[in-house]
Amino acid sequence: MKHGNKYGTHRVIEPAGTLPQPALKLDNTMTIYDNEVLIDVQTLNIDSASYTQIKQACGGDADRMREMITRIVGERGKMQNPVTGSGGMLIGTVREIGPRHPDRQLKVGDKIATLVSLSLTPLEISRITRLHPDSDQVDVEARAILFESGIYAVLPDDIPERLALALLDVAGAPAQVARLVKEGDTVCIIGGGGKSGVLCCYQAMKNAGPHGRVIVVEYSRENARRVQELGLATHVIVADATRVMEVYEQVTAITGERGCDVTINNVNVPATEISSILVTREGGCVYFFSMATSFSRAALGAEGVGKDISLLIGNGYAVGHAELTLGIVRESAPVRELFERLYCAPR
């Protein structure tokens, strides 16, 4: 059995010398190296920005979406949307573990969720059995490889699998909110009514406390109403985050010209960077969790409007992020009920 590099560089076909995530093509042969894990895949949770782009490109046609996803994986050896660059994550059952894989707790037969992106995970799809258009989830008959460096979570017994998959896909967002938001802060969450947005709202309200403010900017009236009914924000604005001055005027009508201490961007469409920057106070920070973000647009945009603020890239990993995110649905019955209705209801 061959020995593999811990970061998976032995799987890179093109271009040589890079890591699996930025690579254009991976070797998705499902014969494992001695430090890899082979997974029988049950469901892919495709990144929201990627799924939205695929749905739009295919006009919402399920057969065309299946063909597009299958083609991407066939061409790249992984599920990495060539437009958004993003992937997602998966759940499946451990089929084989290389003898030199260092994790002695992992066992064949464990049901796990990978906590690394599909954009770096060797994947081979035999068949797409079902699309779940409202949840970004795709049921498959497939296999995948987890590298030695790849992190994962064993699925919990007290949370349904589909719900756990949905939560763990965005676990980095509320975990970063827990780090960034302090008691008494004014927080703006752009795209606060979606999956990651709701989790961020809950954590922001918890951290900011009774003397803080959480302002949600949400495009969907239905999602905005949901946030209000669940008490996940102190103020809810229905607005298109790509319309910069409208967002700026409505947020500063609440905060004054000072703006927000922390802004969290969860929007799954492009061109919302400047709205996030303008509503943030001098010396504050913007956390871009959205994979639709153009980081050059954000950096040059902040420079262009003369804002000295911290711009944070949405790292999907933070120590303890899985436990914190699963803990939210254990703490909050209303949030759990919402997500179970969205991700666990029969279709």
Task: Tell me: do 183 and 313 sit in the same domain.
Answer: yes
pLDDT tens per residue, range 289-320: 988 899 899 999 999 999 999 999 988 899 99
Q: Which residue, among 161, 130, 122, 127, has the nearest Cα to 141 in the 3D structure?
A: 127
> Phi then psi for 341, rounded to 5 degrees?
-65, -40
Please indicate, yes or no, if residue 188 is contained in any of the structural domains.
yes
Task: Tell me: do 140 and 194 sit in the same domain.
Answer: no
Average pLDDT of span 124-133: 94
Task: Tell me: do 194 and 56 sit in the same domain.
Answer: no
Please indicate, yes or no, if residue 271 is contained in any of the structural domains.
yes
Among 121, 155, 189, residue at a domain's last position = 155
Task: Tell me: do 118 and 207 sit in the same domain.
Answer: no
Task: Tell me: do 176 and 52 sit in the same domain.
Answer: no
pLDDT tens per residue, range 47-70: 999 999 999 999 999 999 999 999
Task: Tell me: do 15 and 140 sit in the same domain.
Answer: yes
Q: What is the pLDDT of residue 134?
A: 77
In the predicted structure, residue 116 carries a pLDDT above the cut 90: yes
The set of residues, in sequence order, having a beta carbon less than 8 Å from that of 75 and lying 6+ positions away, is 25
Q: What residues make up the domain containing 298?
A: 172-319+329-334
pLDDT tens per residue, range 136-162: 999 999 999 999 999 999 999 999 999
Q: What is the pTM of this model?
A: 0.90
Can you spell out the DSSP letters for 188-226? EEETTTSHHHHHHHHHHHHHH-TT-EEEEEES-HHHHHH
Task: Tell me: do 27 and 68 sit in the same domain.
Answer: yes
Please indicate, yes or no, if residue 230 is contained in any of the structural domains.
yes
Average pLDDT of span 103-123: 97
Please indicate, yes or no, if residue 21 is contained in any of the structural domains.
yes
Task: Tell me: do 139 and 82 sit in the same domain.
Answer: yes
Please indicate, yes or no, if residue 162 is contained in any of the structural domains.
no
Question: What total of structural domains would you count in the chain?
Answer: 2
Please indicate, yes or no, if residue 244 is contained in any of the structural domains.
yes
| Number of alpha carbons in the 13 Å side-chain half-sphere of residue 165 | 25
CATH number at residue 259: 3.40.50.720
Please indicate, yes or no, if residue 119 is contained in any of the structural domains.
yes
pLDDT tens per residue, range 247-271: 999 999 999 999 999 999 999 889 9
Task: Tell me: do 145 and 216 sit in the same domain.
Answer: no
Q: What is the pLDDT of residue 281?
A: 98
Task: Tell me: do 52 and 97 sit in the same domain.
Answer: yes
Could you give the CA distance from residue 215 to residue 190 in angstroms, rounded to a whole number?
Answer: 8
Please indicate, yes or no, if residue 2 is contained in any of the structural domains.
no
In the predicted structure, residue 215 carries a pLDDT above the cut 60: yes
Among 130, 155, 180, residue at a domain's last position = 155
In the predicted structure, residue 347 carries a pLDDT above the cut 80: no
Q: Which residue, among 168, 172, 169, 224, has the nearest Cα to 200 in the 3D structure?
A: 172
